[in-house]
Structure 1
């Protein structure tokens, strides 16, 4: 519920500033559950997107146009008939509900002035756009019959009302006694008590209220001390006063490059917030970036499945190989048995099941099991054969497990590349690497290797030094062995999959802060990005070597420095 009543109030304020007095120039319905209104005002032309999409209801001003179907839907035709060239005279929000009511004045067929209401409800799967004359529904973009909802029918001719199923209070009209008796008597977490007791407050807004009040949001609301309750209400009341006075701070919270949360109140509990002057711009950016991240993840799902399947197979293979390797640890025991039988065999009576001998390697007496049907020499040969078999197994398994571990490390690096990918070009490079490694069959043999069109990430340190981050193993090799100079610094998360990070020195002395920022980038773009801190190796690039025939991205180095680096990179400027 990021699009909560607070954000809706912010949108209402922005639309009132820009659209009041404007005339509806065009009405279009590009999607089954979406309207695009073109409004002409004295200050220019605006386009207003209103969507009742079940998974993504929203409303914002945009500069972009959308193609409309050749034949307009019935709801769109009805709006054009009644509201064409109508004038917007008011945009209101009942309480802090997730509802906007756009009141439009127009002339009917007789030339009389009439008023209609275009009401949008932003309520998840129950979102709707309802066209009303007074409190009578003329039509809606989604018709809801009694079979679909026992709470309220949304059909032409029915009365419009806001369903009250949760008994939540209006947070704009509350006092300390009501706040305490409504929210703080419940045996649930304080944040849940707030957002479940009042309309229009999302969980993230409730968490922020608790954070600003220095109260643990998980603490039961009915366990708060009197001074804590009063302080919490004061913070709550200040935020509500700001909303009533139209004081908003639209901002987006980023985790890495991905937008995670947004609100129209300051989210002080997060470090990486980007503030906006316009809530419409915020919504455009949030949903376009969210959509881009979602689209890339969807397009990478097939590659992720291939990598995860291969990785799971390789891990199981390594487990079996390690077990077989462990079984070979007793090979030297069989060799000693054979040698001792050869040495002391003349003392062994015929048909013996065991005999005791002094192990001249350890000066300890040991008991050697014997097969009574075999001669001492045959028992010795039997133990030497066991030793030689286990020795061959050890040598073969040692090579195989080394190869399997290298394969696991490579697949983990590919999985990390998929997490970093931000464009289809990035995915194309990862796919090419999987093809070259034999995990994907190439449908057609290309005349030449795929051209690298995706570029590494480029950051600028606080001290003005360029830092580059490879997004996949092709870019890692390109950065390390073609782009970097011998005097540049190379960074990589220790003993885990991750990007190669190159710090360009240009022959200058590097400050400690820049080293820390480069290490933070190496930590962030690694398998350990979800941890708070990661150990990072760094070394001059000239010390980094690539073994012949090794997989993309694989390097070795024998002398290096290490540091513990934070995975937070919010303050590092990306170019």
Structure 2
């Protein structure tokens, strides 16, 4: 769901409270996101500008974003002119979906200059444009050459033209009247079809237009609801949906909506397309398996070739050269058996060829069965990786990439990620502390599972894992568990598994000392000697509240 002009008006009102703000660092988080690290009035914050086709937005956040060490040419230009500059103001173009950031900086000879950043949040046309004091474009995140748009060229050196504001529409914050015959989107600036539905619903329930607009003007919250598996939101309660909506502070709510959605794109941009590789491997293996099974069935029927060879050797006096087949009487009941022949060979040569096929098929049975077992294990492994990627953070995805490199599936590439000053020897394991003081740790990929179970956990700690699904290893750092702790650990194991959409998911649990590492197995594989089982229904809301 895209931002509309009225919601952007609310966002700008919140952000401008932090200006003037000094720009400390500039990074390109992904192909469509630029991050400005600011020193604001209330402390250090991140200004994220996203020009994603769907998730385009402007937001002030305290969340951490991964930062690549190889900046693009556009980011290098921004760093040259804007690092150390001060953002003096932010101005929205009426109630349209673009804003102008005015920055004061100094040029190479120390003279004070004014530079502008235009943030346009218009769906697939979303863009960040860097403009000098004379109105000349210095560069843009997305360049638009004349042959694509001859009315508005976005290229270095071209003169910048602000987006034209539509004529004939009114400002909803200053107008108290409206036409009942026209939709609100056609009458007022800043209205989206979604907000129009909400306001029209309220008007139909005896609320006045001016009161609704005053509620919008006074709101500092974002209300979220889910419709057909899509998150919808705005700055007033969504009464027309006739369902309960969650309320967040405005800027925090935007983070809640967009952060994890765009994380998938960051994973692909900065870690390589692991998804595509895993899907390609799975497709290849699933096509290979039935072929191997067909070959095994054929090799198990190898005795016929032995019989064919014996029959041909018993009739060496026959001339079969040039023939494609021959019928010979069986040794058992004299019934005719049809034998395929190679017309280029005589009967002795065909007999020898039949025995070669018999020998090859007999020996191949063991090899083909080994290949089937290996193929099934590889399918199982990559399906597990696929599940881990679906719930992974950026750091989790990096560790999955590292695992695939170490196992030889991927070639090691020069890292695009900024190297940390201190590198931990063990993966970072997620930990939570319950109200009773008990700590629970859980891994979200194979490397984390391996480290948690076999290197970090104490032998008397309790270990949890789903019975029939790939998933997280969960360790409770205690021996005697009450009912709430037991169910919380089982809930974590079921949610971070392939069975998170199921009900009554079986979760095995035991002490760590009852686990054994499987020799030669992939990371994270373990066998259990003694265990108990609990059945649990995964609850996403419970997990999200637990991890806050």
TM range (shorter): 0.5 to 0.7
- Given that 2:238 and 2:245 are in contact with CA atoms closer than 8 Å, whether structure 1 keeps it comes out as no
Please say if 1:545 is aligned against 2:519.
no
Residue 412 (structure 1) aligns with: 383
2:429 is the alignment partner of 1:456: yes
Q: 2:165 aligns with which of 162, 174, 177?
A: 162
Q: List runs of 5+ in structure 1 lacking aligned partners.
A: 104-117, 132-137, 184-193, 211-229, 346-350, 360-364, 445-449
Structure 2 residue 447 is matched with structure 1 residue 474: yes
Who is 1:500 aligned against? 473
Match status 1:298 vs 2:269: yes
Deviation at 1:461, TM superposition (A): 5.7
Residue of structure 2 in register with 1:190 after alignment:
none
Per the alignment, in what secondary structure is the counterpart of residue 566 of structure 1?
coil
Matches within 5 A, 1:347-358: 353=327
Q: What residue in structure 1 maps to residue 3 of structure 2?
A: 3
Q: Does 1:422 align with 2:393?
A: yes
Q: 1:195 to 1:567 in 2, by over 3 A?
A: farther
Q: Please report the TM-score for the alignment, with normalisation by the length of structure 1.
A: 0.57
2:222–2:233 CA contact under 8 A, matched in 1: yes
Question: What SS is found at the alignment partner of 1:526?
Answer: coil
The answer for the alignment partner of 2:420 in structure 1 is none
CA deviation vs aligned residue, 1:127-161 (integer Å, no higher than 9, x gap) = 78999xxxxxx9657699994249xxx979x9996
Paired with 1:293 and 1:182, the residues of 2 have a C-alpha distance of 40
TM-score (norm 2): 0.60
Give the one of 190, 199, 204 matched to 1:200: 190
Deviation at 1:454, TM superposition (A): 2.8
Q: Is 1:275 aligned to residue 248 of structure 2?
A: yes
C-alpha contact (below 8 Å) 1:311/1:408 kept by paired residues: yes
Mapped to 2, the partners of 1:494 and 1:34 lie a distance apart of 42
Structure 2: gaps of 5 or more residues: 27-33, 65-74, 103-115, 139-143, 315-319, 321-325, 344-348, 415-422
1:246-278 CA distance string (max 9 Å, x none): 3425348699xxx977642346979995712xx
Q: Quote the offset at 1:485 in angstroms.
A: 3.8
Bigger Cα Rg: 1
Q: Look up the match of 1:565.
A: 537
Q: CA separation in 2, counterparts of 1:34 and 1:321?
A: 51
* Aligned counterparts of 1:171 and 1:330: Cα–Cα separation in 2: 83
Question: Could you say if the C-alpha distance between residues 481 and 54 of structure 1 is closer, same or farther in structure 2, counting changes exceeding 3 Å?
Answer: closer
Q: Counterpart in 2 of 1:348?
A: none
Structure 1 residue 470, shift from structure 2 partner: 0.9
3-state secondary structure, aligned to 1:545:
strand
CA-CA distance at 1:573 after TM superposition = 1.1
CA RMSD of aligned residues (A): 6.4
The answer as to whether partners of 1:490 and 1:501 remain within 8 angstroms in 2 is yes
Name the residue aligned to 1:327.
298
Once the two structures are TM-superposed, the CA of residue 552 in structure 1 deviates from its matched residue by 0.9
Alignment correspondent of 1:107 = none
Equivalents in 1 of 2:436, 2:14: separation in Å?
39
Equivalence for 2:403:
433
- Return the alpha-carbon distance in structure 2 between the equivalents of residues 408 and 538 of structure 1: 23
- The 1-side partners of 2:401 and 2:45 are apart by 40
Find the aligned partners of 1:163 and 1:440 in 2 and give their Cα distance. Answer: 52
Query: What is the distance in 2 between the residues matched to 1:46 and 1:451?
Result: 29
* Residues 251 and 275 in structure 1, CA contact (< 8 A), matched pair in contact too: yes
Corresponding residue for 2:483? 510
Assess, with a 3 A threshold, how the Cα gap between structure 1 residues 141 and 475 changes in structure 2: closer, same or farther. Answer: same
**Alignment length (residue pairs):** 470
Cα contact 1:168–1:196 (8 A) shared by 2: no
Shift in Å at residue 314 of structure 1? 3.3
Summarize deviations over 1:373-393 as a string: whole Å, max 9, x none: 9xxxx9999999866654433
